[in-house]
Amino acid sequence: MFRTARYAVLLCGAAMCFSALAAAPAGELSLMPWPKQVQYASQAGRLELNNGITINVEGDQLDEMVTRWRHRIALQTGWTLQPQSANVARPTIWIDIAQKVDPFPKEDSDESYRLSVSAQGIKLNAATRFGALRGMETVLQLIRPDANGVSIPWLTIEDSPRFAWRGLLLDSARHFLPVSTIMRQLDGMAAAKFNVLHWHLTDDQGWRFATAHYPRLQHMASDDLFYTQAQMREVVRYAARLGIRVVPEIDLPGHASAIAVAYPELMSAPGPYQMERRWGVLKPVLDPTNEAVYQFVDTLVGEVAAIFPDSYMHIGGDEVDDTHWKENPRIQQFMQEKNLADSRALQAWFNQRLETILEKHHRRMVGWDEIFHPSLPKNILIQSWQGQDALGNIANADYRGILSTGFYLDQPQSAAYHYRNEVWPQGLNGVDNLTPQDKAQSWSFTMPRLKGSAVEGSFTLIAGHEQQTWRGFVDFNGKSRRAVRNISWINDNQVTFSVDTWMGEVRPVLTFSNETLSGYFLVGNVRYPVSGKKQAAVPKGIAPTVPSEAQMANIIGGEAALWAENVVGSVLDIKLWPRAFTVAERLWSAKDVNNEDNMYQRMQRIDAWSTISAGTQQHGQALSHMMRLTGTGDVLALQILAQALEPAQYYTRHHLKYQAGNYHQFEPLNRMADGLAPESMTVRQIDKWVDRLIADREDRNSELALQHVLIRWRDNVKDVMPLIENNYVLKPLKPVVEDVNRLSELGLRLAGLVARGEPIDDRQRQAWQRELDAAAQVRDEVVIAVVYPLEKLLRAIGRSSN
pLDDT digit string, tens, across residues 98-120 = 999 999 999 999 999 999 999 99
Residues in the chain: 802
Residue 780 and residue 653: Cα distance in Å, rounded? 9
User: The CATH number of 2-159 is which of 3.40.1190.20, 3.40.1740.10, 3.30.450.20, 3.30.379.10?
Assistant: 3.30.379.10
Q: State yes or no: pLDDT of 436 exceeds 80.
A: yes
**29: helix, coil or strand?**
coil
Give catalytic status of residue 791 as yes or no.
no
Which residue, among 398, 365, 366, has the nearest Cα to 385 in the 3D structure?
366
The rounded mean pLDDT for the chain is 94
Residues 331, 349 contacting (CB under 8 angstroms)? no
Phi first, then psi: give them for residue 492, nearest 5 degrees.
-60, -25
- Phi/psi-derived region of residue 44, left when phi > 0, alpha when psi is between -120 and 50, beta in every other case: beta
Contact 435, 465 (CB under 8 A): yes
225 phi and psi, to 5 degrees?
Answer: -110, 95
What kind and span of H or E run contains 738?
helix 734-756
Q: Over the stretch 56-91, which tens digit does the pLDDT of each residue have?
A: 999 999 999 999 999 999 999 999 999 998 778 899
**Phi/psi class of residue 338: alpha, beta or left (left: φ > 0; alpha: ψ in -120 to 50)?**
alpha
d(CA 355, CA 362): 10
DSSP state of 264: G
pLDDT over 70 at 15, yes or no: no
Residue 3, pLDDT > 60, answer no
Q: Give CA–CA dist 183/615, Å, rounded.
A: 10
E strand residue ranges, 220-338: 245-249, 312-314
pLDDT at 615 over 80: yes
Q: What percent of the chain has pLDDT over 70?
A: 96
Report the C-alpha gap between 49 and 37 in whole angstroms.
Answer: 24
Distance (Å, whole) CA 116 – CA 93: 10
The single-letter DSSP state of residue 613 is I
Query: Mean of the pLDDT values across residues 42-49?
Result: 92
Is 13's pLDDT higher than 90? no
HEC profile of 750-784: HHHHHHHCCCECHHHHHHHHHHHHHHCCCECCEEE
Does position 5 have pLDDT exceeding 50, yes or no?
A: no
Whether the per-residue pLDDT at 9 is higher than 50: the answer is no
pLDDT at 702 over 80: yes
Across the chain, how many H-helices and E-strands are there? 24, 32
Residues 287 and 294: their CA atoms lie apart, in Å, by: 10
Around Cβ 215, how many Cβ atoms within 10 Å? 11
Looking at the DSSP bridge assignments, the partners of residue 58 are 96
d(CA 502, CA 386): 8
Contact 485, 497 (CB under 8 A): yes
Position 214 pLDDT exceeds 70: yes
Q: 165-423+551-562 maps to which CATH number?
A: 3.20.20.80
Question: What is the signed CA dihedral for 289, 292, 293, 298, rounded to 10 degrees?
Answer: 130
The answer to whether the CB of 517 falls within 8 A of the CB of 511 is yes
Residue among 687, 696, 704 nearest 757 (CA): 696
Phi, psi of 637 (to 5 degrees): -65, -40
Per-residue pLDDT tens digits for 130-153: 999 999 999 999 998 988 899 999
CA distances from 29 to 53, 496, 681 (A): 21, 36, 20
**Residue 239 pLDDT exceeds 80:** yes
pLDDT at 467: 54
Distance CA 747, CA 428 (A): 39
Q: How are beta strands 113-118 and 144-146 bridged, if at all?
A: unpaired
- Is residue 388 helix, strand or coil? helix
> What's the sign of the alpha-carbon dihedral 301, 303, 306, 307?
negative
Q: Is the peptide bond before 544 cis (omega within 30 degrees of 0)?
A: no
Average pLDDT of span 558-566: 98
Task: Output phi, psi for 126, to 5 deg.
Answer: -140, 145
- pLDDT of the residue at 303: 98
Distance CA 407, CA 730 (A): 31
State the pLDDT at residue 802: 58
Q: Is 551 exposed, middle or buried (0-12, 13-18, 19+ CB in 10 A)?
A: middle
* Contact by Cβ (8 Å): 527, 521: yes
* Residues 362, 365, 367: CA angle, nearest 5 degrees: 160
Question: With contact defined as beta carbons under 8 Å apart, do 637 and 716 qualify?
Answer: yes
> Where are the chain's structural domains?
2-159, 165-423+551-562, 439-533, 617-796
One-letter identity of residue 104: F
Bond from prior residue into 33 cis (ω within 30 degrees of 0):
yes
Task: Please pick, among 48, 107, 158, 319, the residue that the annotation labels catalytic.
Answer: 319
pLDDT at 10 over 70: no
pTM of the model: 0.95
- Residue 464 has a pLDDT of 80
Q: Which of 9-23, 164-178, 390-404, 499-513 has the lowest mean pLDDT?
A: 9-23
From residue 681, give the alpha-carbon distance in Å to each of 308, 516, 546, 695: 39, 37, 35, 21
Around Cβ 515, how many Cβ atoms within 10 Å?
Answer: 10
Q: β-pairing, 782-784 with 645-647? A: antiparallel
CATH number of 439-533: 2.40.128.120
Q: Give 229-254 as a 3 state SS string.
A: HHHHHHHHHHHHHCCCEEEEECCCCC
Contact 115, 135 (CB under 8 A): yes
Residue 554 CA: distances (Å) to CA of 547, 558, 561: 9, 12, 21
Residue 421 CB partners (closer than 8 Å, separation 6+)? 403, 405, 406, 407, 500, 583, 586
Query: pLDDT at position 86, please?
Result: 78
Strand partners, 16: 40
Cα separation, 259 vs 291, in Å, equals: 16
Cα–Cα distance for residue pair 15/118, rounded to 1 Å? 13
